[in-house]
Structure 1
Amino acid sequence: MKQLVILRHGKAEQDTMAKDDYDRVLSDRGERNASDMGGFILKKWGAPDLILSSSARRAHDTAILAAQSLGYPQEEIRTDQNLYFAPSRWILNVISKLPDEVDRCLYVGHNPGVTELVNDLGVRLDNLPTASAICFEFHINSWAEISTERAAFHWLKLAKEL
């Protein structure tokens, strides 16, 4: 069995003319929520075997803060530039290439892709809010077998509930 937690990045500073969207940083609230959600994930689910993140700053910073709460080594976070604003099918394609030794993956990404992925996996949401997490289980032995049809919803936690 494989498990996937999808975590949307924490609340970021608003777009400014001076900053490229890719380089936007987390707000104070975004930092707190990312850290708190990492703590929740640890208590509810345990530590992941792998944290996979978009390489955009706000997603990577969210991954780092969650990793600290999870006791996961920051230097082992895997980033992928292809996950920056990736649609659902791209995200699944990247996940399908994970090593089979990884049974539990925490993926940190962006909307609209994360909400699209959640919907494709069978949970109807208009929006996965920032710093919120949702867990799916897949009764598969290899990530190469991952598909939307094989997803089973496990739990959802909104940042505002922390």
Structure 2
Amino acid sequence: MKKLILVRHGKSSWEHNLPDNERPLLKRGYTDGELVSKAFTKSLDIAPVIWTSPAIRALETAKIFRNNLNIVEDKFNIKQGLYTFNWQELLHIINSCEPEVENLMIFGHNPAMTNLVNILGDKHFDNIPTTGLTYINFESATWENLKQGTTLLNLFPKNLR
């Protein structure tokens, strides 16, 4: 059985003229990261392996979760290919995960996150908001051929405030 946790990066700043992948989190991004990660600790049974996009806003969000979920450093990975907005590319990277990993947590970007949540989960969302988390369970022994899963949980900051 595999469990996939998909997290859209926190709210980021457009204030400075920076390349997209260098945009930092706003204060709200940090606050929401703390809020969602602490709420998620109640639902976590096995510590996940974390894979994050290298974009600053995703990486900083992932670090908040790593700290609050007490994830050891060797289970925290930056994956260049996760800087994508395409759900097929995102799924291809997830499919490459080693079969011994039971829980995989991905930090990435929209529209890939919303599209993938709607394709793999059994609940539909118009939009996964910034710092939105969706937890999906699969009856699969590997990550290679994930099919329709069961959405176990969704945590959105506005519902936790």
* Alignment TM-score > 0.5, same fold: yes
Are the counterparts in 2 of residues 85 and 112 from structure 1 also a CA contact under 8 Å? Answer: no
Amino acid at match of 1:155: L
- Counterparts of residues 106-145 of structure 1 (less than 5 Å): 106-121=105-120, 122-145=122-145
1:112–1:15: structure 2 CA closer, same or farther, 3 Å change rule? Answer: farther
Deviations 1:116-137 (A, max 9, x none): 1112124322210011111111
Shift of 1:83: 1.3
Which residue is 1:156 aligned to? 154
SS at the partner of 2:28? helix
Which residue is 2:58 aligned to? 59
1:141–1:57: structure 2 CA closer, same or farther, 3 Å change rule? Answer: same
Amino acid at match of 1:120: I
Deviations 1:84-118 (A, max 9, x none): 12311111111111111110111111111101111
CA RMSD of aligned residues (A): 1.5
1:68–1:47: structure 2 CA closer, same or farther, 3 Å change rule? Answer: farther
With 42-51 and 62-71 compared, the bigger mean Cα shift is at 42-51
With 107-116 and 84-93 compared, the bigger mean Cα shift is at 84-93
CA–CA distance in structure 2, aligned partners of residues 80 and 44 of structure 1: 25
CA–CA distance in structure 2, aligned partners of residues 68 and 99 of structure 1: 24
Shift of 1:13: 0.9
With 53-62 and 79-88 compared, the bigger mean Cα shift is at 79-88
* Length-normalised TM-score, structure 2: 0.91
1:110–1:141: structure 2 CA closer, same or farther, 3 Å change rule? Answer: same
Shift of 1:47: 4.8
Are the counterparts in 2 of residues 13 and 26 from structure 1 also a CA contact under 8 Å? Answer: yes
Are the counterparts in 2 of residues 35 and 68 from structure 1 also a CA contact under 8 Å? Answer: no
SS at the partner of 1:144? coil
Amino acid at match of 1:8: R
Amino acid at match of 1:12: S
CA–CA distance in structure 2, aligned partners of residues 14 and 111 of structure 1: 16
Shift of 1:15: 5.1
